[in-house]
Chain A
Amino acid sequence: MSAALLIDILLWGSVLGVGLIAFRRGPTVFKASLREGAMDFVNIVPRIALGVIGSGYIAAIIPQEVITGWLGPDSGWLGVASAVLAGAATPGGPVIGFSIGTVALKSGGGVPQVVAYVVAWALFAFQRVILWEIPFMPARFVWFRCAVSVPFPFVAAAIAMVIGKP
């Protein structure tokens, strides 16, 4: 069974589960939330379309080598800082992000720097923010969350330096 299928089963299973709870509250509540969800979907589709199609073009002008370059042999805090930038600028999905991290580890990148890269990528890779977070969340929340998240790749790198390698 593929991971994608498992995700779909879990996802629709949860929809079914919460749907059942809503349905037991009464058909009016159930129908109202289904309509609400469908309207959200209709409103969001154009923005998701812009994000999915757009990020392909943005990714095409930011080649992977540029990102790998930023994750260079620079150790210490300067290396952590450029790893954080690299994480934010990484185009593409999880395969690309984690593959770059693996390449960096294998080619002698420092562990705290790679941790900072992976954490920064998870927290504010521009593609996920553009494609998913902004369409679904109030824009003010998204910018606020990204700004508040900036220190944490550095915190993760500091913890990695203290507790050592895996």
Chain B
Amino acid sequence: MSDPSPKAPAPTEDPESEPRPGRARKPIGWSTIIIAVLVAVSAALVWRRDGTDGVLDILTHDLSLFSGILPRVLAGCLLGALISEILPHEKVSRSLGPKSGLMGLLIGTAFGAILPGGPFTAYPVASALLAVGADFGATIAMVVSWTLIGYGRAVAWEIPIMGTDFTLWRILISLPLPVLAGALGRFVYVRLYPKLAAEDDET
């Protein structure tokens, strides 16, 4: 922190880092509002095209989908919270933080590739990593690696539908991309948010 805050009595503590940096979420953000509007417009268009029955059909289908997903979301949230609790913060910020270099991007990539489960695990865990000291670059490497070279979706969906040859070949092509995306992320982040990057440097 470069500017001293009058309301921060403990000088060693970043005021934003208590109790858990980045874990506090606003219930309604701009993204949620935009999505809600998009959904409302789409539902209205469906209603005009297919009538009330069409709207209800989609609603019942998606509600059953939703109830199936819920336990996994709970598991993902628990996994994220437990991981952020057991990972030592100093170690994470050293090995995945802004100064972790290529090694940090490689660790992020490896982590994303071996992470089990679907989006209900990848995003809570990525969010937990961000909260305990990983920087945008390493977290981007992790998320991109999970989506492009993670085995979960490849085994469950891509190989059965697209075939083994195409899938393995596509994964081979994708191998360098997580590290490149993370490096680009770091490069842009430092220039886009110089102030935040400087704060990260000091902690």
Residues of A whose CB lies within 8 Å of any CB of B are 3, 7-8, 10-15, 18-19, 21-22, 25, 29, 32-34, 36-38, 40-41, 43-58, 60-61, 94-95, 98-99, 101-102, 105, 115, 118-119, 122-123, 128, 130-139, 141-142, 144-145, 147-149, 151-152, 155-156, 159-160, 163, 165-166
CB of B13 within 8 Å of the partner chain: no
Which residues of B, 137-170, contact A by the 8 Å Cβ criterion?
139-140, 143-144, 147-148, 152-153, 155-158, 161-163, 165-166, 168-170
Q: List, sorted by A's number, 6 A–B pairs whose CB atoms are closer than 8 Å.
A: A40-B81, A53-B63, A61-B49, A142-B31, A156-B177, A159-B176
Given A57-B45, A137-B126, 5 further pairs, Cβ under 8 A: A34-B78, A56-B62, A98-B157, A101-B161, A148-B185
* Range class of the B interface residue count: 35 or more
Distance, CA A151 to CA B183, complexed state (A): 13
Distance, CA A32 to CA B148, complexed state (A): 34
CB of B65 within 8 Å of the partner chain: yes
Chain A interface main SS type: helix
A144 contact set on B, CB distance < 8 A: 136, 140, 185, 188-189, 192
CB of B36 within 8 Å of the partner chain: yes
Binding-face segment, B3-11, B69-77, B89-97, B98-106 = B69-77
Check B80 against A14 for contact (C-beta < 8 Å).
no
B140 contact set on A, CB distance < 8 A: 144-145, 148-149
Check B148 against A123 for contact (C-beta < 8 Å).
yes
Given contacts A139-B30, A148-B188, contact A119 B174 (CB under 8 A): yes
Given contacts A11-B72, A48-B73, A166-B166, contact A60 B58 (CB under 8 A): yes
The 5 A-B pairs with the shortest beta carbon distances in the complex, nearest first, are A54-B39, A37-B81, A136-B123, A166-B169, A132-B119
